[in-house]
């Protein structure tokens, strides 16, 4: 898969396969091509060349109407939660249902929103405004909203960016708890090597629009790929301190 903007080729032959019900982390520095790749994955852009297969369907040639159908396969958790500041927690989480599940009765909608908020530890926060929430709570509200349409795939854009280490670990735990509880496939776009070691079943190192290394975090840290070992070393992360097993 390739993506160009005019003469500038930003993705140069990407070939990635995500396994169901696992967490894949796409790691890379600024300018590596993570944002263009994310936009292709969720159908916001089309590749210049190649295919994007979702559940056996190539979404690359689909028109906008067909893409809207496919996009509901994905739940998107944005970098800073991207909550609507003028709406309270309940209305932020209800927003996808109001847009795409208009056949629901008012009672059904309320029940689904309250159940999701309770599941994610936000019971009692329904009428709080985003400005009244902590960073971790905002992440949970963003995740609750992303789950409302029952997506098969959750895509996280830099979920630990700007967070302190304790909150970052909480977000990592939340990503894995959500994957396990809701049986989703998680795709995490990140520059956070520590987070990658904590949550990834499989990691992909992106540099200059190419995947230069892939494997389990341990394989990247201890394998023969010198580029991956150098990237990890420059990140300042000691793998033996953050590494953990994932199922």
Q: Which CATH architecture fits 2-73+151-242?
A: 3-Layer(aba) Sandwich (3.40)
- Round to whole Å and give the CA distance between 173 and 171: 5
Contact at 8 Å (CB) between 157 and 189? Answer: yes
Strands 23-27 and 185-190: parallel
Q: Which residue is associated with the tokens 């600024």?
A: 30
Q: How many CB atoms lie within 10 A of CB 13?
A: 12
Length of the chain measured in residues: 247
Which runs of consecutive H residues, i.e. helices, occur in 161-242?
165-182, 193-199, 217-222, 226-235, 239-242
Element (H, E) at 107: helix 106-119
- Round to whole Å and give the CA distance between 143 and 77: 6
Q: How far is CA 199 from CA 81, 88, 134, 190, 206, in A?
A: 19, 31, 23, 12, 18
- Round to whole Å and give the CA distance between 43 and 116: 26
pTM of the entire structure?
0.88
For residue range 140-149, what is the model confidence (pLDDT) as tens digits?
A: 899 999 999 8
Quick check: 247 pLDDT over 60? Answer: no
φ, ψ of residue 206 in degrees (nearest 5): -105, 130
Helices (H) and strands (E) in the chain, counts: 10, 10
- What would the mean pLDDT of 169-197 be, rounded to a whole number? 91
* Domain locations in the chain as residue ranges: 2-73+151-242, 85-149
Quick check: 245 pLDDT over 60? Answer: no
**pLDDT range class, residue 80, cuts 50, 70, 90:** low
Half-sphere exposure of 234 (CA within 13 A, CB side): 9
- pLDDT, position 25: 96
What does the CA dihedral 117, 123, 129, 131 come to, rounded to 10 degrees? Answer: -90
Name the 3-class secondary structure at 20.
coil
Contact at 8 Å (CB) between 38 and 189? Answer: yes
């Amino acid at each position: 898969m390739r993506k160009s903007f005019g003469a500038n080729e930003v993705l140069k032959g990407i070939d990635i396969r995500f396994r169901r019900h696992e967490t894949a982390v796409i790691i890379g520095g600024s300018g590596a091509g993570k944002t263009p790749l994310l936009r292709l994955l969720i159908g916001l852009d089309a590749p210049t060349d190649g295919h994007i297969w979702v559940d056996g369907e190539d979404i690359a040639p689909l028109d906008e109407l067909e893409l809207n159908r496919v996009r509901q396969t994905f739940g998107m958790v944005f970098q800073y939660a991207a909550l609507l500041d003028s709406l309270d927690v309940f209305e932020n989480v209800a927003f996808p249902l109001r847009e795409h599940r208009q056949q629901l009765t008012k009672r059904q909608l309320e029940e689904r929103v309250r159940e999701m908020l309770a599941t994610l530890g936000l019971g009692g926060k329904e009428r709080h405004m985003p400005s009244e929430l902590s960073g971790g709570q905002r992440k949970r509200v963003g995740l609750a909203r992303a789950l409302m349409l029952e997506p098969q795939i959750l895509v996280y854009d830099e979920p630990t960016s700007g967070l302190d280490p304790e909150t970052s670990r909480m977000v990592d735990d939340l990503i894995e708890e959500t994957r396990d509880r809701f049986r989703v496939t998680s795709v995490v776009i990140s520059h956070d090597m520590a987070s990658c070691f904590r949550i990834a079943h499989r990691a992909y190192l992106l540099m200059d629009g190419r995947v230069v290394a892939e494997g389990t975090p341990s394989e990247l840290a201890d394998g023969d790929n010198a580029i991956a070992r150098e990237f990890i070393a420059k990140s300042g992360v000691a793998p033996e301190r953050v590494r953990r097993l994932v199922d």
